[in-house]
C-alpha cells in the first residue's frame, strides 16, 4: 500500500460551512505511518436503533469523501492538516460544519481516533450493525502496534467513513491508508475471508504483516473491526 509515483491534481474547491470556507485537495506521493490508537472507552450502545438512513447532509459528506480517493495530501484553507486516518476524516466532516474532535471529554493523551470516538459518544450512537448507512463512521482495533509492546492490544487505531453497504452485506468505506485515501471493503459475516472463490474481495488487508506479530494477530478489515458510529441529528 506504499505510494511510489508522483502525481498532482487539484480537486474541486467547495464552499464550506461555519469557519471552514473551502477544502483544497492536492495529490502528491508521500509515505506516512498509520493512525494512532489509545485506550478504549466502555461502549455505550444506547441509541443504536435510532439511526437514520442517509439524508442529504450525510450524502454530501460521502460525496466529499469519494472526491478524495487517491489523494495523498490534503490542505484546508491553504494550510496542511494531519495526514492520517483521523485527520482526513475530520477534514471531510469539517467541510460540512462538523468538528469531530470537539467534545467535553478532555484527555491530554488522546490522539485523533480517540478524539473522534469521544465526539460520537457525546453527539451520536455507537453500534455494531449489521445494517450501516452512508456517512456512518467505522472504527478498527490493532491495525498497528501503537504502544510498541509486540502484542495485539491496541484498541481504536483506525477510522473511516462508510460509503455504502452492498446487498451481500459487504461494506465499502473510505479511509486514509499508508499511501493515499482509499476505498476499502469489509464483510462482518465472513470476517476471515479475503476473497471469494470467484475473486470478489470481501475483506481488505488493513494491517501489514510482521514476522514478530503474535499468533492472534488479525490482518483483514473484518478481523480488526471495533464499532460503527452514527452522529445523531446531522
Which among 66, 63, 78 is positioned nearest to 26, based on CA atoms?
78
Which residue in 45, 6, 51 sits closest to 26, CA to CA? 6
52-98 per-position pLDDT tens digit: 455 568 999 999 999 999 988 887 666 667 889 999 999 999 989 89
Rounded to whole angstroms, how far apart are CA atoms 205 and 219? 6
Model pLDDT, residue 193: 98
Low-confidence ranges of the chain (pLDDT < 70): 1-56, 76-80, 233-234
Specify the pTM.
0.78
pLDDT at 162: 98
Nine-digit cell string for 107: 484527555
* pLDDT at 79 (0 to 100): 65
Q: What's the pLDDT score for residue 38?
A: 36
Distance CA 89, CA 39 (A): 20
Q: Using alpha carbons, select from 195, 217, 225, 232 the residue that is nearest to residue 55.
A: 232
Sequence-separated contacts (24+) of 44-47 with Cβ below 8 Å: 44/121, 44/125, 44/126, 45/125, 45/126, 45/127, 45/128, 46/125, 47/124, 47/125, 47/232
| Packing angle of the helix pair 85-94, 56-67 (nearest 10 deg) | 130
Spatial distance between the Cα atoms of 132 and 129, rounded to a whole number of angstroms: 6
Query: What pLDDT score does 56 carry?
Result: 60
Return the number of other C-beta atoms located less than 10 Å from residue 182's C-beta: 18
Amino acid at each position: 500500500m506504499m505510494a511510489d509515483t508522483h502525481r498532482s491534481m487539484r480537486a474541486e474547491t467547495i464552499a464550506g460551512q461555519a469557519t471552514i470556507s473551502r477544502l483544497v485537495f492536492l495529490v502528491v506521493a508521500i509515505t506516512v505511518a498509520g493512525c494512532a490508537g489509545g485506550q478504549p472507552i466502555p461502549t455505550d450502545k444506547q441509541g443504536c436503533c435510532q439511526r437514520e438512513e442517509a439524508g442529504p447532509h450525510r450524502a454530501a459528506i460521502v460525496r466529499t469523501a469519494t472526491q478524495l480517493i487517491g489523494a495523498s495530501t490534503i490542505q484546508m484553507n491553504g494550510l496542511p492538516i494531519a495526514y492520517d486516518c483521523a485527520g482526513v476524516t475530520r477534514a471531510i466532516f469539517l467541510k460540512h460544519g462538523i468538528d469531530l474532535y470537539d467534545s467535553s471529554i478532555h484527555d491530554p493523551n488522546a490522539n485523533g481516533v480517540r478524539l473522534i470516538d469521544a465526539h460520537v459518544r457525546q453527539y451520536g450512537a455507537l453500534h455494531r450493525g449489521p445494517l450501516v448507512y452512508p456517512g456512518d463512521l467505522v472504527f478498527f482495533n490493532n491495525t498497528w502496534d501503537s504502544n510498541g509492546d509486540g502484542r495485539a492490544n491496541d484498541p481504536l487505531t483506525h477510522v473511516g467513513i462508510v460509503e455504502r453497504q452492498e446487498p451481500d452485506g459487504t461494506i465499502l468505506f473510505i479511509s486514509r491508508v499508508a499511501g493515499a485515501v482509499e476505498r476499502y471493503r469489509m464483510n462482518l459475516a465472513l470476517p476471515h475471508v479475503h476473497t471469494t472463490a470467484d475473486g470478489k474481495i470481501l475483506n481488505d488487508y488493513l494491517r501489514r504483516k510482521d514476522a514478530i506479530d503474535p499468533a492472534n494477530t488479525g490482518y483483514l478489515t473484518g478481523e480488526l473491526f471495533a464499532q460503527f458510529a452514527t452522529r445523531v441529528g446531522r
